[in-house]
Structure 1
Amino acid sequence: MGLPAGLPFNETVGDTIPPNTPHAVSVSLPTWQSNVAYEEGEEWVLDKMQCGYPRFFIHKSIEKLATSIVKRHGNTESDKAMLLPSPRCADRCLEFLRTQNPTVDPSCIRHLDFVPHSDKIDNESSNLVQPRVSAALYPRELWPTAKAFWQHTGEGISSRRAEFCQHAFDEGRLVEAHSIRDSPPRVTKGPRRYQRASIDLKNGLNGNGEGKITNSVGPPDSAQFVEERYGRNLDVGLATQAKLAVRKRIAGSLTSAAELPDSLDHTDDLGRTRSRDVPGFSTDDVYLYPMGMNAIFHAHETLKATLREAESVMYGFPYVDTLKVLQKFGPGAIFYGHGSSADLDDLESRLEKGEKILSLFCEFPGNPLLQTPDMKRIRTLADKHDFAVVVDETIGNFLNVHVLPYADVLVSSLTKIFSGDCNVMGGCMILNPHSRYYSNLKSHLEAEYEDTMFEEDSVYLERNSRDFIDRIQRVNQNAEVIADILRAHPRVKQVNYPKYSESKHFYDVCRLPDGGYGGLLSATFHNIEDAQIFYDHLNTQKGPSLGTNFTLSSPFVLLAHYSELEWAAQYGCEESLVRFSVGLEDAEKLKEVFEFALTAMPNK
């Protein structure tokens, strides 16, 4: 059965999602075949990719700057460069490269720091964000290790930082630190762009009125916002305000959608003394990171530094790189992939026998199976046996659920629904002031925390998140509509959604009175053929990531676990699973799109 007119064919492969967005977070993989071809490294997909999810795909602007640095400061025949936002990040990269490749001559792995040329900074520009980047140089054959560091830790630079630093590098304003006598001030600069892509969320129609759920084509993401609103360059003060507003929004003490700086003193939010319903909690307990995985990585590093060196527990089937961080950056991990009561029984038995662990990491709920952990029991075990609990609340989000009382540390990806626009990365780590480890964690972070979020990225994130509260309820409602449609169809084997999960009662323990069940769900089919036909006929945007303002679909297990499909299947993550991040479109249009894809499967 062929695809009807109006559905995405393979000519959209590699396009940015959203369209015409230079710093997009997702990339179009519109058919099942294109996802397989991407995993197989086929040129007809890879050669067309304008972007990709930033931890799995090195943006072209980053590649360009890395190549420029190697050309000027390295050996183009033997060296590659991995770009990091600070010398300390570069040092961690070097350490990983050396420990993972002990037979390689350590002197072949080094890093260079690039700073603003002191002669180029005058009194008028000293208050502007200035360029800064570090480069880890290594032999080309170590590329797989360097790429693993980039992917697992989220330490790499953003494409906006690369684009800006490229201009400064080419103009001689960004130079290698040892080439100048005095170290310049530690400040940074932001490029001349910033325009929000427009989205037809009311009707979900493409230009032909065919009911496609997509972004309407608008001006490039990098067009004019910063230059038109704030002048040619970005002021450090504006970026500082943006980061404060983001932290206050995460803390729950900022609900205003007003422009900066007025929103920071908005009368609707004045007088609020309790954020997230945890006495003593404040904005000072929120730490920003350039992406969610970087927050997870630093949560793990902080716990190792303040508690003990011991194995951690990954409870529940996780987003892939969380487990990798625990396995590769420390003593290792105990993996409970089912996230079941029996798994907690086994953990309790180990602990009762005297086994010590550093921490338990879990997601609330999990991705992609949307199972919810028993936070009450986990908290009881943690208090009794002295280990930290780290909860990733990205999927549930803090407007739906309140999990802070059960955690010592919360982590979240701000790239997802907090931003919604799919054009900027961000992450955060949150401390619970009632944790027994709070004072130690706080002291460590006060001494060691490094803000590496690029200033212009923070301005994007603040701007995108102003309507965060208004978006959540609509996303919750739309996701329930789609879950009900899928559950009613006989060719769908299983729908994974917190509302219909066997672990629903664990979710409801933490669900807020006006909270819903989130915008993420997944479905498995009885066979791969049905999954392929359904996916190919599903007329939404299709690519990696989630939490977008528009509906985004992906054959998640195929894409995330292609080389380990049998391993993933034993935990319930079947190859036929399709994941849906439901957006803000009109509910009736969403129903039409999903019903059409369901009817495309031939009767048997």
Structure 2
Amino acid sequence: MPHSTPAVNDVEVGESLPPQTPHAVSVSLPTWRANVGYEEGEEWVVSKMVTGYPRFFVHKIIQRFAAKVAAKYGQPDDQAMLFPTSAIAGRCRDFFLRQAPELDAQQLQVIDLVPTSEKARSEEFSVISPRVSAVLFPGFHFKVAKTFWQHSGEGVSSRRAEYCESLYDEGLLVDSKETEDVPKVCKGPRRYRQKTSIDLTGSNGHSIGSEKNDSIQFVEQRFGRNLDISQTKNAKLAVRRRIAGSLTADVGLDKALSVEKDADRTRDVPDFSEDDVYLYPCGMSSIFNAHRIMMSTRTPLKSIVYGFPYIDTLKIVEKFGPGCHFCGFGSSEELDDLERRLEGGERFLALFTEFLGNPLLRSPDLERIRYLADKYDFYVVVDETIGNFLNVNVLPLADIVVSSLTKVFSGDSNVMGGGQSKNYKVLKRAWDADYEDNHWAEDSIFLERNSRDFVSRIERINANAGAIAEVLKPHPRVKKVYYPKYSDTRQNYERCRNPNGGYGGLLSATFHTKQDAAKFFDNLDTVKGPSLGTNFTLSSPYVILAHYHELDWAASWGVEADLVRFSVGLEETSTLVGTFQRALEAITDTTA
């Protein structure tokens, strides 16, 4: 029998990952059976869910706040969905009318909740902008609202909901139609009024900007971190500089702010700068808005989705525009077919692709795609979430690059325009005219803090993932390891790999039998749940979670139902290697 080692990553089903983290973006599904139970809606799993992946599970703080708004402003059977702005709520309402035409427009109400006083709006909350817009709808149409929430990624964050609910409970956040006759004093929720020292400090040990902004500080103490909300603007600037490639080492906020705007960048693209980086509340929101803004610049046409994508990218193109031409294998043969279509006169708005693809880690031929795009005039949108911009440089070959910073960067998301593209000027004008900064202040500050050591973390994660791939690849019970270093598309990856870039922290494996896959997963001593890019290794039966109700469709594109995906973290390499070796021993143990 294999040597028995006590598990160190036992986390109860339904608990947040990390455990007891109020705003976590992952949830523990520690066994194969628990993942299937979640998809089947089994009570023993669903009833224990304290949280979930934000676009698939409406956070309980958001649910609670939405229920209060619906009870006050809606009809008895109404429910509410919460969004950062009235414009986004209006898009949800329009989606409702398209998807449920049987509804009368008067059954869909938008309520804009704003601070009560002019002082609150213009002074203390000018940085925070604590506003929420609710779409009220008949409750039996919740599925439509949830579809918009999931695909668009435009819902409120749990931190925004928590803060705004506190204002609402104190009568300080009201329907915008009620603001004329309300009190003129608004200090914010009581638990945020405490004066506190802050730890966002400059190299001289003094708080950056604190002498001017004491009135808009508040504290977030759950992780022992004090936040100076006055630093929101600076935090966003630092994040944008990291994304633009101006910061190539682990640096704090003061150093990030001292770097000149036109500093040498790893993203060496003419005319590209931090001003071309736009922050959105989540990665899918950046894709949704990229599609929406591109449609506004041209006569809407079908778009191409090339390679097997993260599911919501495909749904956005299918449901929020004229439709999709799907090239699900991401093969050269599909590019040959696309070129024949284009030569024959067929035209498209854009091509969406991932570098690398999820979960098969394939690398599209971006050079050929760019050639076709220039010749036949369509946009190219590249999701670099899994490749990440320290490992690969895809910007010269794209019109728009999107990335979910919730993942390895640790935060939320961004979208940026490609500097070399002939489409740059028209896209830049459209973005600047349309963009609303809805990135919640607390989320921005956490994002900046968590991304300060991004460079060193990527180096460690690259090394760990490579070591795990070497453990899995030769094992006789492992059918295939999906990793860019071993892929038949490796040459495409190498063309975009940075000189010091690695192969990323994500890999997947399939097994010869479902029984082996499940036994390996159940014996793998890592935490297990959705999402990727965490500092701890996170495993999931990805296809079960993402495509449970369309497994045959996924299989038709070469994505097997029993695939297991690993997002490799920062653990000691030898520890991780031992963890995976023991799980492999479990499936070769004939006495078990």
446, 449, 457: which one pairs with 2:435?
Answer: 449
The aligned runs of 1:183-582 (5 Å cut-off) are 192=192, 223=222, 225=224, 228-230=226-228, 234-235=229-230, 238-255=231-248, 257-266=250-259, 272-274=263-265, 276-419=267-410, 424=411, 426-582=412-568
Equivalent position of 1:159 in the other structure: 158
Equivalent position of 1:209 in the other structure: none
Equivalent position of 1:14 in the other structure: 14
Could you tell me whether the CA contact under 8 Å between 1:363 and 1:373 is conserved in 2? Answer: yes
Unaligned runs of 5+ in 2: 197-218
Q: How far apart are residue 256 of structure 1 and its match?
A: 5.5
Distance in 2 between residues matched to 1:450 and 1:565, nearest whole Å: 38
Q: How far apart are residue 262 of structure 1 and its match?
A: 4.5
Note if 1:114 corresponds to 2:97. no
Could you tell me whether the CA contact under 8 Å between 1:557 and 1:574 is conserved in 2? Answer: yes
Could you tell me whether the CA contact under 8 Å between 1:130 and 1:189 is conserved in 2? Answer: no
Q: How far apart are residue 272 of structure 1 and its match?
A: 1.5
Q: Could you say what secondary structure the match of 2:587 adopts? A: coil
Q: How far apart are residue 121 of structure 1 and its match?
A: 3.0
Q: How far apart are residue 307 of structure 1 and its match?
A: 2.4
Q: 1:59 to 1:278 in 2, by over 3 A?
A: same
Could you tell me whether the CA contact under 8 Å between 1:558 and 1:575 is conserved in 2? Answer: yes
Distance in 2 between residues matched to 1:104 and 1:123, nearest whole Å: 38
Q: How far apart are residue 572 of structure 1 and its match?
A: 1.4
Q: How far apart are residue 130 of structure 1 and its match?
A: 4.3
| 1:419-450 CA-partner distances (Å, limit 9, x unpaired) | 1xxxx5x1111101221111111111111111
Give the letter aligned to residue 241 of structure 1.
N
Q: How far apart are residue 223 of structure 1 and its match?
A: 1.6
Distance in 2 between residues matched to 1:3 and 1:184, nearest whole Å: 68
Q: Could you say what secondary structure the match of 1:473 adopts? A: helix
Could you tell me whether the CA contact under 8 Å between 2:2 and 2:589 is conserved in 1? Answer: no
Distance in 2 between residues matched to 1:125 and 1:413, nearest whole Å: 30
Give the letter aligned to residue 33 of structure 2.
Q
Q: How far apart are residue 129 of structure 1 and its match?
A: 2.2
Give the letter aligned to residue 16 of structure 1.
S
Q: How far apart are residue 110 of structure 1 and its match?
A: 1.4
Equivalent position of 1:177 in the other structure: 176
Q: How far apart are residue 74 of structure 1 and its match?
A: 1.2
Q: Could you say what secondary structure the match of 2:253 adopts? A: coil
Distance in 2 between residues matched to 1:2 and 1:364, nearest whole Å: 38
Q: How far apart are residue 83 of structure 1 and its match?
A: 0.3
Could you tell me whether the CA contact under 8 Å between 1:128 and 1:188 is conserved in 2? Answer: no
Give the letter aligned to residue 487 of structure 2.
S
Equivalent position of 1:136 in the other structure: 135
Could you tell me whether the CA contact under 8 Å between 1:21 and 1:222 is conserved in 2? Answer: no
Distance in 1 between residues matched to 2:124 and 2:227, nearest whole Å: 17
Could you tell me whether the CA contact under 8 Å between 2:408 and 2:533 is conserved in 1? Answer: yes
Give the letter aligned to residue 435 of structure 1.
S
Q: How far apart are residue 7 of structure 1 and its match?
A: 3.4
Distance in 2 between residues matched to 1:316 and 1:393, nearest whole Å: 13
Distance in 2 between residues matched to 1:150 and 1:184, nearest whole Å: 34
| 1:109-152 CA-partner distances (Å, limit 9, x unpaired) | 11100000016739973556242100000011111110010000
Q: How far apart are residue 225 of structure 1 and its match?
A: 4.9
Q: Could you say what secondary structure the match of 1:595 adopts? A: helix
Distance in 2 between residues matched to 1:11 and 1:275, nearest whole Å: 39
Unaligned runs of 5+ in 1: 195-219
Q: How far apart are residue 371 of structure 1 and its match?
A: 0.7
| 1:244-292 CA-partner distances (Å, limit 9, x unpaired) | 11001100113464443453005xx686255501121100110100000
Equivalent position of 2:203 in the other structure: none
Distance in 1 between residues matched to 2:31 and 2:125, nearest whole Å: 50
Give the letter aligned to residue 89 of structure 1.
I
Q: 1:239 to 1:485 in 2, by over 3 A?
A: same
| 1:79-132 CA-partner distances (Å, limit 9, x unpaired) | 000000000000000000110001111110111000000167399735562421
Percentage of pairs with the same residue: 54
Distance in 2 between residues matched to 1:505 and 1:529, nearest whole Å: 34
Could you tell me whether the CA contact under 8 Å between 2:114 and 2:173 is conserved in 1? Answer: yes
Distance in 1 between residues matched to 2:446 and 2:183, nearest whole Å: 27
Larger displacement relative to structure 2 (446-455 or 2-11): 2-11
Equivalent position of 1:80 in the other structure: 79
Give the letter aligned to residue 483 of structure 1.
A
| 1:307-349 CA-partner distances (Å, limit 9, x unpaired) | 2210000000000100000000000101111111111111111
Q: 1:126 to 1:572 in 2, by over 3 A?
A: closer
Paired positions, count: 564
Give the letter aligned to residue 142 of structure 1.
H
Give the letter aligned to residue 436 of structure 1.
K
Larger displacement relative to structure 2 (167-176 or 122-131): 122-131
Equivalent position of 1:100 in the other structure: 99
Q: Could you say what secondary structure the match of 1:498 adopts? A: coil
Q: 1:519 to 1:182 in 2, by over 3 A?
A: farther
| 1:159-180 CA-partner distances (Å, limit 9, x unpaired) | 0000001100000110110112
Distance in 1 between residues matched to 2:143 and 2:382, nearest whole Å: 29
Q: 1:145 to 1:112 in 2, by over 3 A?
A: same
Could you tell me whether the CA contact under 8 Å between 2:276 and 2:416 is conserved in 1? Answer: yes
Could you tell me whether the CA contact under 8 Å between 2:262 and 2:273 is conserved in 1? Answer: no
Distance in 1 between residues matched to 2:506 and 2:122, nearest whole Å: 49
Q: 1:262 to 1:30 in 2, by over 3 A?
A: same
Could you tell me whether the CA contact under 8 Å between 1:117 and 1:173 is conserved in 2? Answer: yes
Give the letter aligned to residue 562 of structure 1.
Y
Distance in 2 between residues matched to 1:2 and 1:44, nearest whole Å: 31
Q: Could you say what secondary structure the match of 2:112 adopts? A: strand
Larger displacement relative to structure 2 (377-386 or 10-19): 10-19
Equivalent position of 2:199 in the other structure: none
Q: Could you say what secondary structure the match of 1:58 adopts? A: coil
- What RMSD over aligned residues (CA atoms) do the two structures have, in Å? 2.5
| 1:352-384 CA-partner distances (Å, limit 9, x unpaired) | 100010010000010000011011111111111
Equivalent position of 1:48 in the other structure: 48
Give the letter aligned to residue 573 of structure 1.
V
Distance in 2 between residues matched to 1:38 and 1:273, nearest whole Å: 48
Distance in 2 between residues matched to 1:310 and 1:92, nearest whole Å: 20
Could you tell me whether the CA contact under 8 Å between 2:250 and 2:455 is conserved in 1? Answer: no
The two structures have a TM-score, normalised by structure 2, of: 0.91
Could you tell me whether the CA contact under 8 Å between 1:189 and 1:455 is conserved in 2? Answer: no
Q: 1:360 to 1:270 in 2, by over 3 A?
A: closer
Give the letter aligned to residue 57 of structure 2.
F
Could you tell me whether the CA contact under 8 Å between 1:22 and 1:222 is conserved in 2? Answer: no
Could you tell me whether the CA contact under 8 Å between 1:257 and 1:263 is conserved in 2? Answer: no
| 1:454-496 CA-partner distances (Å, limit 9, x unpaired) | 1110000000000001111111111011011100100000000
Distance in 2 between residues matched to 1:495 and 1:265, nearest whole Å: 44
Could you tell me whether the CA contact under 8 Å between 2:359 and 2:565 is conserved in 1? Answer: yes
Give the letter aligned to residue 449 of structure 1.
Y
Q: Could you say what secondary structure the match of 1:391 adopts? A: strand
